[in-house]
Amino acid sequence: MNALSTSEPLAAFQLWLAERREPCAEIITGLKTAQPIRLDAEGLAAEGWGADIPEGWAVAPGESLRIGGYDEDRGIYDSDVFAGDGSERRTVHLGIDIFAPAGTAVFAPLGGRVHSFQDNNHIKDYGPTLILEHAPEPGLTFWTLYGHLSRESLNGLHPGKTFAAGETIACLGDFGVNGGWSPHLHFQLILDLGGRSGDFPGVFKRSEREAWTQVCPDPRPFLGRVNL
């Protein structure tokens, strides 16, 4: 399957999403009351942060979670991880970021199994990463990616390990293990892994934006957050 040319997986996923009977389990406690955050130039300015997230900024225990980021064109991706293969850098974010304190538990949104996992240990990369595979009905398979986890979250995992909806799958990592980012979960829907394992780009070139939004659709309706 060519990940950049087909809309069939998207149509099948959207049909399932429209007809599903049970909503997803909350992947982080407090998600329903999380406050929006934008990390494009306008959003950073609104926070009073200048051109990047301030070093050391984190959501404190007891504070409202912050959530946002899908299809957002960001200038904060300045490490070599995002250099791309030519003159155009990867800047468009195709997941949701949920900022919460380090150590916060992450839960499976629906039943699935471990597809793959690894520690993507590079500056401004995911750090420890988990990919779950879901097959909620015959003929439909998709994946969910969880980035910026704690290293301990990878202990005891193996391909094929199953999780039920609402079961704890991981915890958020701190600055030192999650690529140097403020503690948060990068959550991404993927309809075609393209043979990848343990990793999948969460940021794409602006010129490929239309194609990749079909491969990685907006996760907000899936999570039950459509009012961001």
Is residue 164 a contact partner of residue 114, using CB atoms and an 8 Å limit?
no
The DSSP bridge partners found for residue 133 are: 113, 143
pLDDT at 83: 72
Domain 8-223: which CATH number of 3.90.25.10, 2.40.50.100, 2.60.40.1230, 2.70.70.10: 2.70.70.10
Domain range list for the chain: 8-223
Share of the chain above pLDDT 90, in %: 79
pTM of the model: 0.93
pLDDT at 123: 85
- Tokens standing for 158? 């193996």
Averaged pLDDT for residues 62-77: 91
Which residue in 175, 179, 223, 183 sits closest to 199, CA to CA? 179
Averaged pLDDT for residues 162-183: 96
pLDDT at 84: 65
How big is the CA angle at 42 (ends 41 and 48), to the nearest 5 degrees?
Answer: 90
162 has a pLDDT exceeding 90: yes
Averaged pLDDT for residues 86-102: 89
Averaged pLDDT for residues 123-147: 96
